[in-house]
């Protein structure tokens, strides 16, 4: 891994969740808001898809929401603002300040060369790892602090998840480098 360089680190998805109201009538908003679907036999919430920015939101009767498909903080703000606006137009009494924050960031990273996963397993002595190539082609490494999960693939690609900030993801990558950098 290039030391302390994050050139190939790319945000693939951000998940945010929280509350936007005390309660939401899902049947009502699904009738009033375009691209808002409700099928309670399949899922207990409404699915509201935004096109610009492209975000999928899950809306629950409790007033809670989960947003996914986000790539950066600006997209989150813009998308949340649009969702709140549509809710207000549909008659929902939303909070003046929505209580929504980032709960997970998924990033990809490419070290630029292949990884010998068997060698990684031997080096780490099964410490915080799962590797069953018959079940899944990647090695799962759980970083304790920060609490990040890294999926390592023999192609040299790494998926990092579990961080709430990009800084946490970078710190997790640094820990990974300290643990197995010599064999990569």
Which DSSP string corresponds to 107-139? Answer: EEEE-SS---HHHHHHHHTTTTEE--TTT-SSE
pLDDT confidence bin for 3, thresholds 50/70/90: very low
Mean pLDDT of 84-99: 95
Cβ neighbors of 49 (< 8 A, separation 6 or more) are 35, 55, 56, 57
Task: Reply yes or no on domain 16-102 having CATH 2.30.130.10.
Answer: no
Q: What is the pLDDT of residue 181?
A: 73
Domain 111-183 architecture: 2-Layer Sandwich (3.30)
Residue 132: exposed, middle, or buried by beta-carbon count in 10 A (0-12, 13-18, 19+)? exposed
d(CA 52, CA 35): 12
Higher pLDDT, 113 or 124: 113
Q: Could you tell me the residue ranges of all domains in the chain? A: 16-102, 111-183
Burial-class residue 25 by CB neighbours within 10 Å (0-12, 13-18, 19+): middle
The chain-wide mean pLDDT, for the chain, equals 91
Position 2 confidence tier, pLDDT thresholds 50, 70, 90:
very low
pLDDT of residue 124: 73
């Amino acid at each position: 891994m290039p030391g302390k360089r994050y050139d190939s680190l790319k945000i693939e998805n951000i998940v945010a969740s929280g509350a936007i109201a005390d309660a939401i009538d899902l049947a009502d908003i699904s009738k009033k808001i375009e691209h808002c679907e409700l099928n309670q036999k399949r899922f207990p919430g409404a699915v509201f898809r935004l096109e610009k920015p492209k975000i999928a939101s899950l809306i629950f009767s409790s007033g809670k929401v989960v947003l996914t498909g986000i790539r950066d903080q600006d997209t989150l703000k813009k998308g949340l603002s649009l969702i709140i606006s549509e809710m207000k137009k549909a008659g929902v009494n939303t909070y003046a300040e929505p209580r929504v924050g980032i709960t997970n960031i998924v990033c990809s990273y490419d070290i630029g060369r292949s990884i010998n996963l068997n060698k990684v397993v031997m080096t780490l002595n099964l410490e915080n790892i799962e590797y069953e190539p018959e079940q899944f082609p990647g090695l799962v490494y759980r970083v304790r602090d920060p609490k990040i999960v890294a999926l390592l693939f023999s192609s040299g690609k790494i998926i990092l998840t579990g961080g709430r900030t990009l800084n946490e993801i970078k710190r997790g990558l640094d820990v990974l480098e300290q643990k197995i950098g010599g064999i990569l």
